Structure 1
């Protein structure tokens, strides 16, 4: 699936995005309606902001909204601090662990963690998904400046940082600069089976765009070298650990998901 930049309406933004992402514009030609995707801008209902969205050929638009849709629902009904994702991150005696989300994707897990008080650095290596994530963060910050969101929402955004690139390299560069994270979180791409039809289409689009995570073991090895206390890997229930030579210290399970925990230093849980 080739991604094109839609330059029919917002030509200036499209030109800059095409340069940033090294992607063709729609006006360059070659776009195939049945095979290719568009990165375009639109203003969804109940929003005064333009959203950058990926328009795949076989499903609805994909965009990120931290304060609407599924993320808002998950924030409200996701289970709070008792949910497996949060328990897997651990809890230090004097503070909550800082987290590096090495495979941020659409930012869902990072946002849940930030909403519960964690400070999270999100990194996404795919430039298209990273553009969607950055667009959502920029919109949230503009909403904050305009006082369009409440204080609690503004605090959540303040706990999120973002970068785009290879996580192995980013982790090493941050460590060299003196930035170290208590917990490094990995969520390699894998097929989601027990989901709604809409989510299946979304995941299928992301899988086409991102491809298989063939370097998960390398990322785990690097994470274990740089995390201060633990590395957490999200896996489907019943799946093998991502690296056969490195066994997790423990695991936290939910109905469809398992969080493999690799403890580097003992965390006080609670």
Structure 2
């Protein structure tokens, strides 16, 4: 082989190596994180001490959509301050078998990017599986978690309702619907006022182990429970009605107000 040919081969080899290294860095090396994310286990400890909700982010180094949210949402200075003030921030990176099993078995994660909002005790409030930055901004600014976090647990709420001759209201979530319709119900001031007067509310979600046992005690097994987000009304230990939260409430909250909360 001539000297010139060897030179061209060397140049080509160096160029190919440079492109390969750059591609590896671009796709497999995580970008500088715009926020300081804790592990899920550490976040549970800190959240309990500070009584702050958890924002749990499921992330993959392979996902361009996850990196897009980091760039377009979590790198926004005003939003970063808001998130740090409101939440304990946790991230589960799906880069090993253990984390993948945790995401699948405990949280039923079926796609990324996914974000779950948890109470300080680790109970799921709602979730969002989307790379839509506009929707994510609206979702983060919602106050549903603050409302539900102030409610009694199921046993305490049931006792309180029977003691004060009120209706025991369970908001049940077994479907993990992305829309999370209860947000639109609970954000209504008129409904909130009537709930405080006439109802003792609690919240059950099937992703929580303790709640799952309660749901199974009510229906025999999880498969027999209503699917989705449902309002369950109990009075003196008996179920008196149920109402499935759906698109209808998104457009017309008065349906719930007039039919249920407007009258005992």
TM-score (norm 2): 0.28
Largest Rg, 1 or 2: 2
TM-score (norm 1): 0.28
From the two aligned structures, give the one with the greater helix fraction. 2
